[in-house]
Chains A and B, each alone.
Chain A
Amino acid sequence: MKGSTGHFLYVDLSDGLTNSFCPPIDYYSRFIGGSGFAARLFVERGNFEADPLDPEALLTFSLGPFAGLNLSGASRFSAAACSPLTGHWADSSCGGNFAPELKFAGFDGILVSGKAKKPSVLVISDHTAKIETYPELWGLGVEKATATLKQKFGKASKTLVIGPAGENLVKFACIMNDGHSAFGRTGLGAVMGSKGLKAIVVRAKDRNFLAEDPMACRKLVSELNSRIKESVTLSVMRENGTAANLEGGVHLGDVPIRNFTSNFWEEMAEALTGSTLSEKYLKRRANCDFCSVACKRIVEITQGPFAIPKGPGPEYETIVSFGSLIGSMDLAATCKAGRICNDLGMDTISSGATIAWALEAFENGDIGVKECDGIQLKWGDINTIIDHILPSIAYKKGNLGSLLSDGSVAAAKKIGPSSQDYNVQAKGLEAPMHDPRGGGHGLALTYAVSHRGACHVSSPMLFMEMGACYYPEVGFDYELDPLSSENKAESAVLAMALGALENSACLCQFADREISIPEWVALFNSVAGFNWDIHDMIKAGRRIFYLQRLMNHRYGLRAEDDKISSRLLTPAVDGAPAGIVIEFEKMRTKFYNLMDLNPETGIPSRKTLVDYNLEIEADIILKG
């Protein structure tokens, strides 16, 4: 199988053993890599009964076929496990520089099981791996731990590191790649922490990438790279980062304000938008390996209460999570809050969203100074968030730290039903910083049906609704109105398949907007030799979507769990979407019909499972 090494690394931390294995060859064309491949490997080797933080739990890192290819947007990879935050199957996607290095070192992924007796580091180099005990790293922030590892294993080595939040099993702890890119969502840093694994380091000597048809691959990659480099929208992103159009988003009602209670705040728009970040604090742009877009930011703030040295800057989600969502329009503060989250190893989205829930709970009197360790919580009080709340969460300190460290859903469950009304989430995952009421009604549907919960990268629905992509070859050639529910179920059928492909091929959803559907097929064929047509490719995407639904069915999720918080379905009170109703049930029913999903169980019929060659997997999962 070209494009891949054919080898996965298996690590048992309890026994201190590592070995490599070759997954069945058909997994590559059926489940591709990344998110899909990790799911299939879990069905083969994982234990659905294991608690997510139990030694027996399986944590998988999985590359796509394009990792190592010099294509913009191709250097992402997936981490997957049963999520400690949501209690069901989940994965997260990370850019950066680790994925190509792991492929060059000879592996398509890593499976981690067991629990190390002492804090450890997994060290991988050219086709070999060893577990080294490294207790002195335990307790260090991500920045210091990463620097220490680079000192020991060389500057060119690539790292995955957890911070104190992962060590302390905070349920939305993340895993950081070289201190800048993150497996942010679903708490996989806590899974790594529960295994006593502080870090993974990889270093490869050779940098060979073998494609099935090298000539065709080279030609296609060169065309795509030039197009991505010249793209109007991506050049804007290079200039001003992923928050480049935050200001536009505010005027569309897409940007959440004070825990999704408002959809318009004009003064905040310019204060937080990407061009303001560039003007005030940008030092240079940074990129994932091979990507010419370079949407990442390196910032420095030299003065004031939020001064930070030169280093990773916030992207859109972080700016909004610690900006308008918590009622602040202080851009410097979002930079500092993002930097602190990175160092503590916590997902900025769930951190901001959980804190926003707490601010509203305090305002409503559902929690008081007793639950908050004597502190008054106030909208916009970013100083308290930075100085007190974030460290309290990471170290589970005091009443507030222990209340919030399991995420907003668990916290609301403890506090009581009235506080659940303003929990903004789907399937236990806090909603990202796109409000479906303004960002697009289809997002409400894709948040609800995504296997991982409210996630904007589970599909390209946001881009499809905003008119940023057309796929006439697969029937998507109509313009969607973000503020209407019309044609959204039909679009979501395609969006979920494309999302599964994107997350399994591990392509960046910004860069791959410039790639047409026939070019996606040509890429798979020239790199991996799948010999697909468009139909085969879309079928693979849907197969992965169905597989992950089957897994979540095993974890106890049913059709009734395909829902989102009532707040996101309550008509907005201001801004562009004011008063407009999302026809959620209508969209969901149609989506279920089009996808042949049972209205009670939420899984497809046996016939569909057979059509998608999923009988074996269904038998293992459902009869387990």
Chain B
Amino acid sequence: MRIFVEPIGIVRGRMCPQVVDIDGDCAVGELIESLNFPAKLNVIAVTDGRRVASNEKLQDGATVKLVSLALGG
């Protein structure tokens, strides 16, 4: 399965947009965990302005946008 990962905001400072190849089933939360962000960044996935639940299964060819909850401003 091939997933397009697109970092947004401060997550972009930690990784470039990339394609991730995964064997078998994978949930959104597992994908994020495998990318090893510092816990403090509190990274979640969104799509079309909607938050994706961490147990949601990824589909082949999906684009996952990653956003950090970390800063107030």
Chain A, Cβ-Cβ closest to B47? A251
Complex contact A242–B73 (CB within 8 A)? yes
Separation of A275 and B46 alpha carbons in the complex (Å): 20
Of the listed stretches A233-241, A363-371, A524-532, name the one at the interface; the rest are far from the partner chain: A233-241
- Shortest Cβ distance from residue A230 to the other chain B in the assembled complex, whole angstroms: 11
Specify which chain A residues have a CB less than 8 angstroms from the CB of B11 in the assembled complex: 248
- 15 A-B pairs (CB sep. < 8 Å): A232-B38, A236-B13, A236-B71, A244-B9, A244-B10, A245-B71, A248-B11, A251-B49, A252-B46, A266-B49, A269-B9, A275-B13, A434-B72, A466-B42, A483-B51
Of the listed stretches B16-24, B27-35, B61-69, name the one at the interface; the rest are far from the partner chain: B61-69
Chain B, Cβ-Cβ closest to A465? B69
Describe B's contact surface by its main secondary structure: mixed
Specify which chain A residues have a CB less than 8 angstroms from the CB of B71 in the assembled complex: 233, 236-237, 242, 244-245, 248-249, 466, 468
Asked, given contacts A252-B51, A468-B40, whether A509 binds B72 with beta carbons under 8 Å apart, the answer is yes
Specify which chain B residues have a CB less than 8 angstroms from the CB of A576 in the assembled complex: 46, 49-51
Complex contact A248–B49 (CB within 8 A)? no
Q: Which of A192-235 contact B (CB under 8 A)?
A: 231-233
Specify which chain B residues have a CB less than 8 angstroms from the CB of A575 in the assembled complex: 49-50
Specify which chain A residues have a CB less than 8 angstroms from the CB of B46 in the assembled complex: 251-252, 576
Separation of A273 and B12 alpha carbons in the complex (Å): 12
Separation of A242 and B10 alpha carbons in the complex (Å): 11
Complex contact B9–A578 (CB within 8 A)? no
Specify which chain A residues have a CB less than 8 angstroms from the CB of B70 in the assembled complex: 232-233, 236, 245, 466-468
Using an 8 Å CB-CB cutoff, how does the interface string of A463-489 with B read, 1 for contact, 0 for none?
100111000000000000011000000
Complex contact B73–A251 (CB within 8 A)? no
Separation of A253 and B51 alpha carbons in the complex (Å): 10
Chain A, Cβ-Cβ closest to B51? A576
Complex contact B73–A433 (CB within 8 A)? yes
Chain A, Cβ-Cβ closest to B65? A251
Closest 8 CB pairs of A and B: A248-B9, A316-B73, A247-B9, A264-B49, A466-B69, A467-B42, A245-B71, A248-B67
Q: Which of A574-616 contact B (CB under 8 A)?
A: 574-576, 578
Complex contact B41–A233 (CB within 8 A)? yes
Specify which chain A residues have a CB less than 8 angstroms from the CB of B72 in the assembled complex: 242, 434, 456, 462-463, 466, 468, 509-510
Specify which chain B residues have a CB less than 8 angstroms from the CB of A143 in the assembled complex: none
Specify which chain B residues have a CB less than 8 angstroms from the CB of A468 in the assembled complex: 40, 42, 69-72
Specify which chain A residues have a CB less than 8 angstroms from the CB of B12 in the assembled complex: 275
Separation of A263 and B46 alpha carbons in the complex (Å): 14
Specify which chain A residues have a CB less than 8 angstroms from the CB of B50 in the assembled complex: 575-576, 578
Separation of A316 and B72 alpha carbons in the complex (Å): 9
Interface membership of A551, Cβ < 8 A: no
Q: A236-B10, A252-B51 are in contact. List 10 more A-B contacts (CB 8 A).
A: A236-B70, A237-B71, A244-B71, A244-B73, A245-B9, A245-B10, A251-B9, A263-B49, A433-B73, A574-B49
Specify which chain B residues have a CB less than 8 angstroms from the CB of A264 in the assembled complex: 49
Interface membership of A317, Cβ < 8 A: yes
Chain A, Cβ-Cβ closest to B38? A232
Chain B, Cβ-Cβ closest to A574? B49
Complex contact A245–B42 (CB within 8 A)? no
Specify which chain A residues have a CB less than 8 angstroms from the CB of B9 in the assembled complex: 244-249, 251, 269, 273
Query: How many residues on the A side are at the interface (Cβ–Cβ under 8 A)?
Result: 43
Separation of A236 and B38 alpha carbons in the complex (Å): 13
Interface membership of B3, Cβ < 8 A: no
- Shortest Cβ distance from residue B46 to the other chain A in the assembled complex, whole angstroms: 5
Interface membership of B8, Cβ < 8 A: yes
Separation of A240 and B14 alpha carbons in the complex (Å): 14
Separation of A243 and B71 alpha carbons in the complex (Å): 9
Interface membership of A360, Cβ < 8 A: no
Asked, given contacts A266-B49, A466-B70, A466-B72, whether A251 binds B8 with beta carbons under 8 Å apart, the answer is yes
Interface membership of A300, Cβ < 8 A: no
Chain A, Cβ-Cβ closest to B73? A316
Interface membership of A178, Cβ < 8 A: no
Interface membership of A315, Cβ < 8 A: yes
Separation of A244 and B9 alpha carbons in the complex (Å): 7
Separation of A245 and B9 alpha carbons in the complex (Å): 5
Asked, given contacts A245-B73, A246-B9, A466-B69, whether A253 binds B49 with beta carbons under 8 Å apart, the answer is yes
Specify which chain B residues have a CB less than 8 angstroms from the CB of A456 in the assembled complex: 72
Specify which chain A residues have a CB less than 8 angstroms from the CB of B8 in the assembled complex: 247-248, 251, 269
Specify which chain B residues have a CB less than 8 angstroms from the CB of A244 in the assembled complex: 9-10, 71, 73
Separation of A483 and B53 alpha carbons in the complex (Å): 12
- Shortest Cβ distance from residue B64 to the other chain A in the assembled complex, whole angstroms: 12
- Shortest Cβ distance from residue A239 to the other chain B in the assembled complex, whole angstroms: 7
Chain A, Cβ-Cβ closest to B45? A251
Specify which chain B residues have a CB less than 8 angstroms from the CB of A252 in the assembled complex: 46, 51, 67, 69
Chain B, Cβ-Cβ closest to A242? B73
Specify which chain B residues have a CB less than 8 angstroms from the CB of A482 in the assembled complex: 69
Separation of A42 and B42 alpha carbons in the complex (Å): 42
Q: Which of A419-469 contact B (CB under 8 A)?
A: 433-434, 456, 462-463, 466-468
Specify which chain A residues have a CB less than 8 angstroms from the CB of B65 in the assembled complex: 251
Specify which chain B residues have a CB less than 8 angstroms from the CB of A463 in the assembled complex: 72
- Shortest Cβ distance from residue B11 to the other chain A in the assembled complex, whole angstroms: 7
Q: Which of A504-540 contact B (CB under 8 A)?
A: 509-510
Chain A, Cβ-Cβ closest to B37? A232
Complex contact A233–B73 (CB within 8 A)? no
Complex contact B41–A232 (CB within 8 A)? yes
Separation of A266 and B67 alpha carbons in the complex (Å): 13
Specify which chain B residues have a CB less than 8 angstroms from the CB of A233 in the assembled complex: 10, 40-41, 70-71
